[in-house]
Amino acid sequence: MALLVDIFGYLSVILHGFVIVTQSMTLGGLLFLMLLLHPLSPRLPQGDVLEQRVVRLTRWSAWGLLLSELATTALQVSVLMSTVDLSFANVMQASFAVAGSIKILCALAIALGLGRRSMAQPLPRVLLLLVGLLELVAATATTHAYARLDHNALLMAVEGLHQFGAAIWIGAIPCFVLVLRHLQDTDGLTLVGARFSRMSMIGVACILLSGITMWIFYVGDVQGFYGTAYGVMVGAKVAMFIGLLGLGLGNFLVTERLRKGANASVIRLRRFAEVEIGIGFTIFFAAASLTSVPPAVDLTTDRVSLHEIAERNAPAWPRLSSPDHDTLAISQLQTQLDREAARDHQVAQSATTPGSGVIPPRNAEDIAWSEYNHHWAGIFVLLIGFMALLGRAGAGWAKHWPLLFLAMAGFLLIRSDPEVWPLGQEGWWIAWRDVEVAQHRFFVLLIILFGAFEWSVRTGRLKSERAAMVFPLLVAVGGAMLLTHSHQISNVKDQMLIELTHTPLALAGVAAGWARWLELRLPGRGGRIAGYVWPACFMLIGVILLWYREA
Amino acid sequence: MQLNHRVAIAILALAVSINASAHAILTDSTPKPNGSVPAGHLALMLKYNSKIDQARSRLILIAPDKSETPLAITANTGKPNELDSAADLKPGAYTIRWQALALDGHITRGDLPFTVTAAP
């Protein structure tokens, strides 16, 4: 069990992502109800029904927050009780446990208290908002701000503002989409759209103000931005935030046209909002990943310089031939152990123990092996993007391009972890304990799934509209997961240089997934443009992979 | 293996997992990492980049013979980002295995190896 260490570490980041998503949806739902839907309800056709739908969504979000926060807090409490030999009562007095308990109770109060009757009376509505505010305050006590050495009050206020901005904008978008789906009346759409635009602007202003302040206190300088894991992840968040702003601007223009009585595409409003949810939730998972690393200002050593980045990314011809498996560091170590065991007439030890947390040895051949994998994966992805474009241009045979995903999945499954069966000595099942192996297999599974679904859709084997959605969703999820992907390399700078390559890959994956979503869901010119964007993103991923270097 | 022992190991695994999030980092220490100190009574100090819940953190001294001794952490509200302790040490290679609970709830673990030399 102790060998499941890193797997749980990875899962704890994912769990924290769910806490951020559900908290934003709960608070966003409350704000959407109190500031938008309830006041506008009498002026909307079937306003009561819409309100009940949003109430139900917000209640479910609150239950989700309760469960994810309960799991997170329970994990930490159990850890402390076990490792520091403390009683349950003692650990529950720790700041994080108090904050976690308050969050759980607030979520419970919202889940049980929100309903038709409470929405009808002013006092219960105000109380629900206060409970939401209390939850937000408790949430700031589990951020970096609470444990900083200086400026705690200021930084906690800023963290609160950041989370409030995320809730009132991104967290409320699912409610907005829900209402748009059931609202056909143009006047109603204009009312809802205009007010939600204003709410979004408040959210953007809060995020910008708090984001700039946190940049000053947590990143500090330009080298902290490009030279640390924290800075790179902030960069990924900023890039996605800019994408969200672009989509938000598009929606703002639609609502303005509606307000002026002009013709405007309501379907585009809905589709852009759907994509905003996807990208917004990806930002939340990036934020969860961010809380697990120290702020850039604290990491004064082991930063990567611009010269090192330029040196690592200098153009070089792709590595198209693989080193021999026997020359890899683990293979050589295993050979040595086998020889020693034979000499002493003993059973040979295994060179690796998956999940032990011991970082495996690496030599130049290991680096060449990994680069070869990345470069061939790049060729696969480049071909996929190119064939998808050909298919779009009318080449009928090119519709079989998703089969290349299946070939790539097979290639990665065998080659990604050379110490594991069939190439290495490590058993297939036992290797699940290794977090890097587990993540590689998860990505392979994603590739197989979206390749198979997309091929079935392209060749008419699957005719359901929902089946067509599997490919874009899984590509977007893959991109989001890549933001949390970790490599087990002891050298912090090397890890950082690899992360600098993987982050643009992840962002291109997220963009590709949501562009394909728009192609499927958005009729007219917008969908056609998106249809060219996602193959281009795939080709960009291919080029980045071909550029990849580990030394 | 008894059930409660298994549970303890499982929970220990979860604890170490949080080490993957290198959240609180050691910014200074006495002794220094891989440094050397003379034998005798030694004041230990581990300083972090964030405030630490001293009552719920842990220091374990691993002696040259691999035996492990928990060290009492001195409560010090004036230095909220430190874990302070003391020990009488003989010459040899030691490690302090620390586990720090940052006030925001993040648990980080690490090792501080050092050598104790014969007193001059």
Listed by start position, the domains of chain A span: 1-298, 306-547
Measured between beta carbons, the chain B residues lying within 8 angstroms of A293 are 21-23
Q: Which two tokens stand for residue A83?
A: 């490792």
Asked whether the beta carbons of A62 and A26 are under 8 A apart, the reply is: yes
Number of C-alpha atoms within 13 angstroms, CB side, residue A209?
17
Give dist(CA A279, CA A266) in Å, integer.
20
Please tell me the distance in Å from B92's CA to the nearest CA on chain A. Answer: 24
Model confidence at A398: pLDDT above 90: no
B110 three-class SS:
strand
By the CB < 8 Å criterion, does B86 face chain A?
A: no
Cβ under 8 Å to A: B residues 23-52 = 23-25, 27, 49-52
Average pLDDT, chain A: 88
With CA atoms as reference, report the closest residue to A287 among A65, A478, A481, A17.
A17
pLDDT of A166 > 90? The answer is yes
CB pair distance less than 8 Å for A12 and B81: no
Taking only the tens place, the pLDDT of each residue in A217-275 is 999 899 899 888 889 889 999 999 999 999 999 888 888 888 887 777 788 889 999 99
Q: Which residues of A touch B7 (CB under 8 A)?
A: 82
Interchain proximity B56–A84, CB inside 8 Å: yes
Contact A4 B81 (CB under 8 A): no
Q: Contact, A111 vs A63, CB < 8 A?
A: yes
Nearest to A377 by CA among A135, A543, A193, A197: A543
- Decide if B17 and A7 are in contact by the 8 Å CB cutoff: yes
Q: What percent of chain A lies above the pLDDT cut of 90?
A: 50
In chain A, which residue's Cα lies nearest the Cα of B13?
A2
Starting at the edge strand found earlier in the chain, the sheet holding B92-101 runs: B35-38, B107-117, B92-101, B58-62, B68-71
pLDDT at A487: 54
Of residues A441, A274, A293, A419, the one with CA closest to residue B50:
A293
Query: Which one has a higher pLDDT value, B117 or A429?
Result: B117
Most B CBs within 10 A among A83, A87, A487, hence the mutation to make, goes to A83
Instruction: Please choose, from the candidates A414, A408, A418, A529, the residue with its C-alpha nearest in 3D space to the C-alpha of residue A478.
Output: A408
Nearest-5° Cα angle at A8, A5 to A11: 155
In chain B, the N- to C-terminal Cα span, in Å, equals: 48
For residues A277 and A296, give the distance between their C-alpha atoms in angstroms, rounded to a whole number.
28
The C-alpha of B117 sits at a distance from chain A's nearest C-alpha, in angstroms, of 28
Residue in A216, A243, A228 with CA at minimum distance from that of residue A290: A228
- pLDDT exceeds 80 at position B19: no
What letter represents residue A14's amino acid?
I
Tell me the Ramachandran region of residue A361: left when phi exceeds 0, alpha when psi lies from -120 to 50, beta otherwise.
beta
Average pLDDT over residues A393-402: 85
Q: What is the pLDDT of residue A235?
A: 92
Q: What is the pLDDT of residues A43-98, one digit of tens each?
A: 998 899 999 999 999 999 999 999 999 999 988 888 888 888 899 999 999 999 99
The alpha carbon of residue B72 is apart from the nearest alpha carbon of chain A, in Å, by: 11
Say if CB A87 and CB A59 are below 8 A apart. Answer: no
SS3 breakdown of chain B: % helix, strand, coil, rounded to 5? 20, 50, 35
Is residue A356 a contact partner of residue A370, using CB atoms and an 8 Å limit? no
Question: Model confidence over A117-142: pLDDT tens digits?
Answer: 999 999 999 999 999 999 999 999 98
A146 → chain B, closest CA residue: B104
Q: How far apart are alpha carbons A168 and A303 in whole angstroms?
A: 36
State the greatest distance between any 2 C-alpha atoms of chain A, in Å, as a whole number. 89
Give A87→chain B minimum CA distance, Å: 11
Between chains, do B107 and A76 touch, taking CB under 8 Å as contact? yes
Which SS3 state, helix, strand or coil, does residue A98 take? helix
Q: What percentage of residues in chain B have a pLDDT greater than 90? A: 64
**Residue with more model confidence, A501 or A544:** A544
